[in-house]
């Protein structure tokens, strides 16, 4: 985030957090992903705000790409925007497959998620 307005907005989100809140969020996020909650903070709501700040900052920055065909860098947020919209991280999606259609067969990850 190189846009000052976005940086200020990010600071406003976290400036009142103490060390324990940060640690609690870190641990909760590692276990529950976007469903995490700690210190009265809902991780999904926080992610939504952070992605919105990032998008606004990238639009304001207006660094074009692909020879000017892409007006800014907001497309780099697409995967994050998808996660925020669905409430599921890529890890959640993998677990859904593992516990569902894969029937606990982890070897299917190679066939279905290889690049």
Within a domain: 40:
yes
Provide the pLDDT for residue 112: 87
Provide the pLDDT for residue 70: 87
- What is the rounded CA–CA span in Å between residue 39 and residue 98? 31
Contact criterion met (CB below 8 Å) for 61 and 53: no
Within a domain: 67:
yes
Residue 58 lies in domain:
4-87
Provide the pLDDT for residue 115: 76
Within a domain: 51:
yes
Q: Domain count for the chain, please give it.
A: 1
Within a domain: 110:
no
Q: What is the CA radius of gyration of the chain?
A: 17
Within a domain: 112:
no
Q: What is the mean pLDDT of each run of 10 residues along the chain (115 residues)?
A: 88 96 96 94 97 94 85 93 95 94 93 83
Within a domain: 53:
yes
Within a domain: 109:
no
Within a domain: 50:
yes
Give the relative orientation of helices 19-32 and 43-61 as an angle to the nearest 10 degrees: 100
Provide the pLDDT for residue 1: 53
Provide the pLDDT for residue 91: 92
């Amino acid at each position: 985030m190189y846009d000052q307005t976005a940086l200020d907005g990010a600071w406003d989100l976290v400036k009142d957090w103490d060390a324990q809140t940060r640690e609690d969020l870190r641990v909760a996020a590692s276990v529950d992903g976007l469903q995490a909650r700690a210190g009265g903070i809902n991780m999904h709501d926080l992610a939504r705000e952070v992605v919105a700040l990032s998008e606004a900052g990238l639009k304001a920055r207006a660094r074009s790409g692909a020879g000017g065909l892409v007006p800014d860098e907001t497309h780099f947020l697409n995967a994050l925007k998808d996660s925020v919209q669905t409430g599921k991280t890529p890890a959640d999606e993998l677990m859904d497959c593992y516990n569902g259609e894969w029937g606990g067969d982890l070897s299917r990850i190679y066939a279905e998620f290889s690049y």
